Amino acid sequence: MPASALVSLLALACNNPPPVTIPDPPQVTVNLEETSTVGRSVKLSISTSGCDQVQRLELFNDTTFIKQVPYGGNPTPVELAHTELSYALGLAVPLSLNARVTCADGRTNVSQGQVATFFPVEEVVEPPNANSQVVPDYFVVDGSGNSVSFIGCAMDGARPYLYRVDKNNPNTPQRVEINFPCDATTLITDRKPAGTGTRWVWTPGRGLLSLDANFKVLYSANGAVENLVVAADGNAFLYNVTGLYLVTPKGQVRWSREYTGAANPLPGRPAGDPVHITSGTQAGKVFVPLREEHTETVNLRVVVLDYATTDPNGKQLAQYEIDELNPIQAAWTAFNDTGTVMYLGTQQQGSATVRACAFGANLPACVASNPQSRLWISDPIPGALAALIPYASNNRLAVITSNQFWFMDVTRKSLTEGRIINKDQQPLTPTGALVGRFAQPGKGDAFFMFNSAPGVPNPYPVEIVATDKAEQGLLYRYQIPGGLSLYGAVDDAGTLWMRAGRKLVKPFSLEQYRQMR
């Protein structure tokens, strides 16, 4: 071998080899169309870089594999159907969506997680444009199934209107101008008789109107109405500063009972809603809870009136003395639909009690010494009482405080009659500092609460809480993100419809949500 060749080889042997080049890992990111979605699916996109060729793209919820995604370029659109997600941890709980990309040469990387909330629903109706919404803020529902419409009021500039929106033609609603302001206190009653009868629309202290099934205003008046309750045939009980009036949908006063100055005045002021009984032994009667205030006591009583009387001053049939309270003690009343039981809630300092009082004969006061009248009394229920709501065919009683929702079994002669039946004896509650704003019984044992921030005037709800059965506890909770609000009402079949921000949605049935979980 020539000497020069030997020297050359030795020189090569002494030099360090070139460093091995390790390619950078690929990059992958997940971009959400919405951080909080109420809909049929979650829409997102996945972007990648650093791969000459993408071999595999996968989507995860935290570390739980969801599915493999066919690579479709940058970005790759992805739509997650509600059936592709697990709800074992609950409905509308936060997800942490992340993606893993694998290059053809084997390099791989995982994106940072993007927090998303998904509340799956059966149907979505989108608004016609970004500056409008499908239905008014608050609404009621006519019809059922695919043939539903939504009635609510809203201001158009300085002019108040009543709107009816057909679900199948939401871009061309009907509307009629009304003669009194529409605001967050405006109420629209159920239709009575159901499906064919009259609704009443009223703003406390400002005015009222009656509305037939064809969206025609039958009667309208401005006036300081304090309360309005609809009888089974569509007539309305009106309270104002002078008394109680039964008014037909065309504005005719059938009869009235005044507080003072009349031949037969009502013995007290309103202590709750009047109730028209249409079945059972009390059919044809009107139960009117009253409180008569004295310097040191308040007498709580119920007057029974004849609904069908032709006497313009009304006809009193009976009077029940219920209890004697102190002047600062608040009380709430509710009746079952046969008029055989009245529920009376009374407030103590930090708690309330509920008792059941029997009706049907001239029974004595509903107190401890008269067990034939007082059927039962509950244990103390914490919080400031806000409402008593019979539901589930009068077998359940919702006891609502500002931030706790309790449910009682009121089935006559049951083993748990008069007892709280919440799961683990714990109330359903709003999130954090939110408070209950609206209660909505649903089909069967279903119950919905719509919660808002505290304050006056009443803020719009931002959260829904639902249970399919009190004994099973919370089924779902959904809170819409900041700046938006939600509201819901049931149709003639008991199905919930909900405004979520600007769009209208039909949630799945509670049975379907239970199966998802």
Residue-wise pLDDT for 373-399, tens only, equals: 889 999 999 999 999 999 999 999 999
Contact 266, 243 (CB under 8 A): yes
> CA-CA distance, 404 to 434, in Å (whole number)?
11
pLDDT of 8 over the 80 cut: no
Average pLDDT over residues 16-43: 88
Contact 494, 115 (CB under 8 A): no
pLDDT of 475 over the 90 cut: yes
> CA-CA distance, 502 to 134, in Å (whole number)?
6
For residue 223, what pLDDT is reported?
84
Please report, as a single letter, which amino acid is at residue 378.
S
Task: Give tens-digit pLDDT for 58-81.
Answer: 999 999 999 999 999 999 999 999
Number of H helices, E strands in the chain: 2, 42
> CA-CA distance, 209 to 278, in Å (whole number)?
24
- How far are the Cα atoms of 94, 98, 270, 353 from residue 58, in angstroms, in the given order? 19, 9, 64, 56
Nearest-CA neighbor of 150 among 173, 129, 131?
173
Average pLDDT value for the chain:
91
The arrangement of secondary structure in 391-517, i.e. its CATH architecture, is: Beta Barrel (2.40)
Q: Would you say the CATH fold of 391-517 matches that of 27-122? A: no
Average pLDDT over residues 15-32: 82
For residue 348, what pLDDT is reported?
87
For residue 457, what pLDDT is reported?
76
pLDDT of 9 over the 60 cut: no
Average pLDDT over residues 344-365: 85
122: Cβ contacts below 8 Å, ≥ 6 apart: 40, 506, 507, 508, 512
**Cβ atoms < 10 Å from Cβ of 233:** 14
Backbone φ and ψ of 171, nearest 5°: -85, -10
Please report, as a single letter, which amino acid is at residue 294.
H
pTM of the entire predicted model: 0.90
Taking the CA of residue 161 as centre, how many other CA atoms within 13 Å lie in the half-sphere pointing to its CB?
A: 14
CATH topology of domain 27-122: Immunoglobulin-like (2.60.40)
Domain boundaries, the chain: 27-122, 391-517
Q: If you search the block for the tokens 């659109």, which residue do you land on? A: 77
Local confidence band at 15 (pLDDT 50, 70, 90 cut-offs): low
SS3 74: coil
Query: Residues of the chain with pLDDT > 90: what percent?
Result: 78
